[in-house]
Amino acid sequence: MSDKTSDVIVVGAGIIGCATAYYLAKKGVSVTVFEADEVIGNGGSTRNGGGVRQSGRDPRELPLAMYAVKNLWPTLSEELGADVEYCQGGNLRLGKTERHLEILRGLRDKAVALGLDMRMIDGDEVRAINPYLSEEVIGASWCPTDGHANPLKSTYAYYTAARRLGVRFYSGCPVLELRKVKGELRQVVTPEGTFEAGSVVVAAGYASRKILNTVGIDVPMSNVLIEALVTEMEPPMFKQMLGTADADFYGHQTSHGSFVFGGDSGFETVNEDNGHDRTTSVTAPAICRGILRYIPKLANAKIVRTWAGFEDVCIDGVPVLGPVDEVPGLVVACAFTGHGFGISPIGGRHGRRIREAPWAPQRCLGLDGTHRLDELPRLLGAGRG
């Protein structure tokens, strides 16, 4: 096999692309990965809040998260040979008003219908779990099996594990075009030349849209900028992932003691000259105001740095993940809408199975949202191994 030929090409070296490459290589498949950025995982994969949650998800993607939390995250550090700092400390989604609680009940009802252990608790129960929360919190949804992990360490753990298995990575090498051969997707065009493979997985975040357009596929998604911050180390306070009904903020305390929080103010900007994201003087204070309304104990915590990152947001808020019937040989894994980190292990395995076993026509997680993740429970047993 030549340097420009492999069994599978993966476009994008974020956590989904690296995980897909790892699981494929683990099965003996030759894989080549192309990343437009000079740095691996320099997009949303390493700039998110690190939530590994099932609660609050659309029912169409919830089975993915439940499978990942039950079967993959608990042993991921051991499997990849690197500590991803996974902590299954639960998730409190907080409410201060009856309107908040109504929102949370709706999320609870949808999750429980699919078998998730998630329940509503009152303010006293909230503070029994996390005594640092404000007396203004009158209730919350509680999912004890949710948690968090380190996005940077998780992404690089998949990357290094894939490298050990022989996966070839080309960074600073954008894919310019996809090409069909005899009606099937077989080639990708890059500045380094044209490469060939039996299957192509496109997992390049928002850049996937332009790449997929070259073979007539359009994923209806937008690029949304979200900001985050990290504090100095504080004494251990709690292990839960926190969020709110109104999405004022989300975050957790890391195993090192620092707090990582994220959110948005509506004033984030993009530098149109170079396409890079940048933080504003508005968003971090807005996030902090949200935090202090719920955790007043953090009033004196010092912020070390802030950063921004893009979310590839699908028009209906649910990831597009699976093969595309209109283009044989093409697999799409994008538009994760800020939900991708927690389901990255199963997202990678899902991408792997396209070459491992043929699926029924209904396998495709359709771009129109009709056949998304509903087929997952049946399909998880469809492949070898």
Query: What are 70-129's pLDDT values in tens digits?
Result: 999 999 999 999 999 999 999 999 999 999 999 999 999 999 999 999 999 999 999 999
270 is a domain residue:
yes
Query: Tell me: the pLDDT tens digits for 315-343?
Result: 888 888 888 888 999 988 898 988 889 99
> Could you tell me if 206 and 249 lie in one domain?
no
99 and 126 share one domain = yes
> Domain check: are 112 and 227 in the same one?
yes
Average pLDDT over residues 281-290: 83
Q: Do 212 and 339 reside in the same domain of the chain?
A: yes
Q: What is the full DSSP assignment across 224-255?
A: EEEEEEEEPP-------EEEETT-S-EEEE-T
- What whole-number distance in Å separates Cα of residue 6 and Cα of residue 167? 10
Nearest CA among 378, 268, 328, 372 for reference residue 57: 372
Among residues 296, 312, 328, which one ends one of the domains? 312
Tens of pLDDT, residue by residue over 224-265, are 888 899 999 999 999 999 999 988 889 999 999 999 999 866
- Rounded to an integer, what distance in angstroms lies between the CA atom of residue 318 and that of residue 371? 11
Instruction: Provide the percentage of residues in the chain whose pLDDT is more than 70.
Output: 85
How remote is the C-alpha of 359 from its chain's centroid? 24
**Does residue 115 share a domain with residue 140?**
yes
Q: Are residues 163 and 36 in the same domain?
A: yes
| 42 inside domain | yes
CATH of the domain at 341: 3.50.50.60
Distance CA 288, CA 263 (A): 10
Does the structure show a pLDDT above 60 at 17? yes
Does residue 304 sit in the same domain as residue 229? yes
Q: Domain range for residue 43?
A: 5-50+152-220+316-379
Nearby residues of 214 by Cβ (< 8 Å), 6 or more positions away: 176, 177, 178, 179
Evaluate whether residue 60 is within a structural domain: no
Domain termination site, one of 312, 327, 344: 312
CATH number at residue 303: 3.30.9.10
Task: Please report where in the chains the tokens 């039950």 appear, as a residue.
Answer: 70
Alpha-carbon span 120 to 138, nearest angstrom: 11
Count of domains for the chain: 2
pLDDT tens digit sequence for 171-227? 999 999 999 999 999 999 999 999 999 999 999 999 999 999 999 998 888 888 888
